[in-house]
C-alpha cells in the first residue's frame, strides 16, 4: 500500500528517507537539492536539534554582559552622592551632621593613603596628573570604605531587621562588585571595610570624635 506523499519524501517510508540521508546532508537538512523545512523534518523524525557552539557562545556573551552591567550599576551604591541621598531619606536629623562628618573623614583617609601609597588597579589605568594618579590607585577601596561606614550608620539609625539585612547584603555586594569589575584586589576591599568600620566605631560607639 502506497504511503501518503507530502511533496518532499516522494512517498518513501520514513525509515528509507532517514537511511538515504547522508550524515553531512542531514546536518544542513538538504536532500537531492531540496531544502527541508525544519518543521517538516521534525514531523518526519529526521531533524536533530543540537545547540551549536556559536549559539552557546552568544548566550554566554549575553550573560557575561548582563552580569557586568549588574555589578557596574550595583557598585554605584558606594558613590558619595548616592550615599548622601540615603542619609537624607533615612538618617535621623540629629545624627545627620555626625554621619556626614564621618563620611568626609572616611573619604579623606582613603584618598590620603592613595596619595602617599600608589598601587595599580588589576586593570592598570594610565594617568597624566596628580588627580588621575589618585583616582587610578587601587589601595584602599573608597567605595568599600564608604558603603561599610554608611551602611552601619543607616543600620544604627533604622530599627528594622529587614533594613539591616538589606544593607548587610549591599555592603557585601558593593565590595564584591569592585573586585568583579577589576577595580580592586580583595586586600584593597578589606582595607576599605576596615577604615569604614573604624570611623563608625569612633563616631557612634566610642564617641572619640
**Domain match, 45 and 133 both:** no
**Domain match, 184 and 149 both:** yes
**Is position 56 within any domain?**
no
Q: How many residues does the chain have?
A: 209
pLDDT given for residue 66 in this prediction: 86
When divided into structural domains, the chain yields a total of 2
**Domain match, 33 and 90 both:** no
**Domain match, 107 and 174 both:** yes
Distance, in Å, from the CA atom of 183 to the CA atom of 158, rounded to the nearest integer, reads: 31
**Domain match, 12 and 111 both:** no
**DSSP string over 66-112:** HHHHHHHHHHGGGSHHHHHHHHHHHS-HHHHHHHHHHHHHHHHHHHH
Domain extent, residue 31, equals: 1-50
**Domain match, 91 and 40 both:** no
Q: What is the pLDDT along the chain (209 residues), one digit of tens a residue?
A: 444 444 444 554 544 444 444 454 444 444 444 444 554 444 444 444 555 556 677 778 888 888 888 888 878 888 888 899 889 888 888 889 999 999 999 999 999 999 999 999 998 888 889 899 899 999 999 999 999 999 999 999 888 899 899 999 999 999 999 999 999 999 999 999 999 999 999 999 988 77
**Domain match, 90 and 187 both:** yes
**Is position 57 within any domain?**
no
**Domain match, 31 and 76 both:** no
Distance, in Å, from the CA atom of 101 to the CA atom of 105, rounded to the nearest integer, reads: 6
Amino acid at each position: 500500500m502506497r504511503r501518503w506523499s507530502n511533496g518532499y519524501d516522494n512517498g518513501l517510508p520514513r525509515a528509507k528517507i532517514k537511511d538515504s540521508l547522508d550524515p553531512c546532508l542531514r546536518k544542513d537538512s538538504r536532500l537531492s537539492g531540496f531544502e527541508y523545512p525544519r518543521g517538516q523534518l521534525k514531523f518526519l523524525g529526521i531533524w536533530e536539534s543540537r545547540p551549536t557552539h556559536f549559539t552557546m557562545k552568544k548566550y554566554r556573551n549575553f550573560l557575561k554582559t548582563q552580569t557586568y552591567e549588574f555589578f557596574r550599576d550595583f557598585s554605584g551604591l558606594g558613590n558619595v552622592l548616592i550615599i548622601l541621598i540615603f542619609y537624607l531619606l533615612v538618617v535621623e536629623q540629629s545624627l545627620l551632621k555626625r554621619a556626614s562628618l564621618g563620611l568626609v573623614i572616611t573619604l579623606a583617609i582613603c584618598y590620603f593613603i592613595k596619595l602617599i601609597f600608589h598601587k595599580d588597579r588589576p586593570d592598570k589605568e594610565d594617568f597624566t596628573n596628580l588627580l588621575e594618579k589618585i583616582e587610578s590607585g587601587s589601595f584602599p577601596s573608597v567605595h568599600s570604605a564608604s558603603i561599610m561606614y554608611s551602611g552601619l550608620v543607616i543600620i544604627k539609625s533604622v530599627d528594622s531587621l529587614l533594613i539591616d539585612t538589606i544593607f548587610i547584603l549591599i555592603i557585601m555586594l558593593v565590595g564584591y562588585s569592585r573586585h568583579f569589575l577589576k577595580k580592586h584586589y580583595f586586600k584593597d576591599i578589606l582595607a576599605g571595610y576596615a577604615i569604614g568600620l573604624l570611623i563608625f566605631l569612633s563616631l557612634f560607639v566610642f564617641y572619640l570624635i
